[in-house]
Amino acid sequence: MADNQKKHDPAKKAPKIQAVSRMKEIMTNYYIDAKTAREQGKKVAWITSGGPVEPLIAMDVIPVYPENHGAMIGASKMGAQLCEKAEEMGYSRDLCSYARADIADSVEKTGPIGGLPEPDMLVCCNNICGTVLKWYETAARYFNVPLFILDTPFVHREFSDSARKYVLSQIYEYIGFLETHCGTKMDYDRMEEVGRLSVEGTGLWQAVLDTCAHRPAPMTAFDAFFHLALIVTLRGTQTAVDYYRQLHDELNQRIANGVSMVPDEKYRLLWDNLPVWYKTRWLSEKFAAHDAALVADTYTSAWSGMLPDMNGQTFLEAMAETYTKVYINISIDMMFDIVANMIEKYHVDGMVMHSNRSCKPYSLGQYDLRQMIMDRLGVPTLIIEADMVDERAFSESQIDTRIDAFMETLKS
Ligand code: SF4
């Protein structure tokens, strides 16, 4: 530990966010529902984290997110063991650790919830990466279930009309796929209502993140990583809307009462890429010991970026653009614009980039992005190398030293 770094003082910790217990209750009920879907006469669809979930909700299909489950595996520190198992099964260590851990757990069922509920169908959208295509093809063969692939073109500068027509036509094919495999017709009034709830929930999620523009911040990105779960899994439901309204009220109350998550917040940092799930507490205490709060991150804000510009369109029409322009399906120039906006909005002093061994689309352009941020905005930036789930890629001593050195630069 560096000399001018505080020792962690538990007595000085900020009060916990009360909404956490409600979140745990909702997620427990959600997984019980998904695990007992067959007994309730419901179907389960596995869907990628950036995939359009709203048609599933409208058709009363329970969406399950293998990536969310991968995050649970990481947070439970079961990642290395399951990744090793996948490697024994023949999967390369270079494959995303969410995919490796989930594939191994489908067979072993030794993860935090004893394996995911088995799917009746799979929905894969390649707006986040190409890995999911092969991962879902493997799952379709293993479970012998139908797979729908939604192809979203990469966005270099703008979302063209031809791209809009291309994606929208697939959204209608997606609905046809659901109608075939559910044996019922889509209720388009219900679809619009789910869309309205999705927009409302996403707007509330943005409002939750925006409370951190306040100095000092009532929560940090480490809290956002936890509270993200509902906007991913239950987007388009009243449950998510009610929960984020409760959380937003609580955070505003913390601001009114002068409660900050980092007690002596002096430095405000922006995090880039997925969390290091098995080290969130260690990293949070490490930065807090330097009076540094991670006030924003590009990962959790990617879901508030899904707030569609309705512009007189139906929700289904707006979905085509919203789901294509997600954070890791756009050019470095567009990413830079988003990051520059966040740096200004959240009053950021420095940026910490997680170069994530697993997530190539998130990590490949980071060195260019870092250079642009330093050259054009003069914001100091640290890169740490790790993996979101596979603990074998995390060197605590090396990262500890690099954070200390970075914080010394910020303080000088
Ligand atoms: S490679 Fe990245 S985007 Fe793709 S599944 Fe893994 S973590 Fe998600």
Convert the pLDDT of each residue in 198-247 to its tens digit.
Answer: 999 999 999 999 999 999 999 999 999 999 999 999 999 999 999 999 99
Q: What is the pLDDT of residues 259-304, one digit of tens each?
A: 999 999 999 999 999 999 999 999 999 999 999 999 999 999 998 7
Ligand 1 centre and the CA of 219: distance in Å? 26
Distances, alpha carbon 390 to alpha carbons 80, 183, 196, 202, 233, in Å: 5, 40, 38, 30, 23
Residue of 47, 91, 92, 132 best suited for mutating to test ligand 1, as the one with most atoms within 8 Å of CB = 132
Q: Separation of 258 CA from ligand 1 center, angstroms?
A: 38
What is the atom index within ligand 1 of the atom nearest the CA of 274?
7
- Report the C-alpha gap between 54 and 58 in whole angstroms: 6
What mean pLDDT value characterizes the chain? Answer: 94
The ligand 1 atom nearest the CA atom of 388: 7
Ligand 1: nearest atom to the Cα of 362: 2
> What spacing in Å lies between the alpha carbon of 364 and ligand 1's midpoint?
12
Site residues for ligand 1, CB cut-off 6 Å: 67, 96, 98, 128-129, 131-132, 274, 358-359, 361-362
Place of tokens 């490490």: 286
> Can you give the residue ranges of every domain in the chain?
26-411
Q: Please, are residues 99 and 135 in contact by the beta-carbon 8 Å criterion?
A: yes
Closest approach atom of ligand 1 to CA 130: 4
| pTM over the 0.85 mark | yes
Specify the residue with its C-alpha closest to ligand 1, atom 4: 129
**Contacts (Cβ under 8 Å, ≥6 apart) of 112:** 72, 73, 76, 78
Q: 1.10.287.130, 3.40.50.450, 3.40.50.720, 3.40.50.11900: which CATH number matches 26-411?
A: 3.40.50.11900
Distance 410 CA to ligand 1 centre (A): 31
Site to substitute for ligand 1 among 46, 73, 96, most atoms within 8 A of C-beta: 96
Nearest CA to ligand 1 atom 5: 132
Specify the 3-state DSSP secondary structure of 256: helix
The beta-strand segments (E) located in 37-196 are 44-47, 62-64, 121-125, 147-150
pLDDT at 346 over 70: yes
Residue 305 has pLDDT above 80, yes or no: no
Write out pLDDT tens, residues 2-46. 555 666 565 567 889 999 999 999 999 999 999 999 999 999 999
Quote the ligand 1 centre to 380 CA distance (angstroms): 27
Atom of ligand 1 nearest to the CA of 360: 1
Ligand 1 mean position, distance from CA 359 (Å): 5
Ramachandran quadrant class, 15 (left: phi over 0; alpha: psi -120 to 50; beta: rest): beta
Which residue has the least CA distance to atom 7 on ligand 1? Answer: 359
Contacts of residue 313, Cβ cutoff 8 Å, sequence gap at least 6: none
Neighbours of 95 (CB within 10 A): 17
Rounded to whole angstroms, how far apart are CA atoms 248 and 246?
A: 6
What integer pLDDT is reported at residue 102 of this predicted model?
A: 97
Alpha carbon of 328 to ligand 1 centroid (Å):
10
Chain centroid offset of residue 165 CA: 27
Q: Which atom of ligand 1 is nearest to the CA of 129?
A: 4
Local structure of residue 381 (DSSP, 8 states): E
* CA proximity to 324, closest of 175, 125, 162: 125
From first CA to last CA, the distance across the chain in angstroms is 18
Centre of ligand 1 from the C-alpha of residue 89, in Å: 20
Give distance in angstroms: CA of 25 to centre of ligand 1: 27
The helix or strand, by DSSP H or E, that contains position 384, with its residue range, turns out to be strand 381-386
Between CA 103 and CA 110, with CA 109 as vertex, the angle to 5 degrees is 110
- For residue range 361-404, what is the model confidence (pLDDT) as tens digits? 999 999 999 999 999 999 999 999 999 999 999 999 999 999 99
Nearest CA among 326, 302, 313 for reference residue 231: 302
Alpha carbon of 130 to ligand 1 centroid (Å): 8
Q: Which burial class, exposed, middle or buried, applies to 246 when counting CB atoms under 10 A from its CB (0-12, 13-18, 19+)?
A: middle
Q: Please check the confidence at residue 111 and state whether its pLDDT lies above 80.
A: yes
Residue 135 Cα: closest atom of ligand 1? 5
Q: What is the mean pLDDT of residues 134-147?
A: 97
Residue 339: how many other CB atoms lie within 10 Å = 25
Q: How far apart are CA 365 and CA 335, in angstroms?
A: 10
CA of 53: how far to CAs of 25, 58, 194, 291, 322, in Å?
Answer: 21, 9, 10, 39, 12
DSSP string, 61-77: PEEE-HHHHHHHHHHTT
| Residues of the chain above pLDDT 70, percent | 96
- In whole angstroms, what is the distance from residue 298 CA to residue 147 CA? 30
d(CA 180, CA 177): 5
Q: How many angstroms separate the CA atoms of 226 and 112, rounded?
A: 16
**Alpha carbon of 203 to ligand 1 centroid (Å):** 24
Residue 340 confidence (pLDDT) above 60: yes
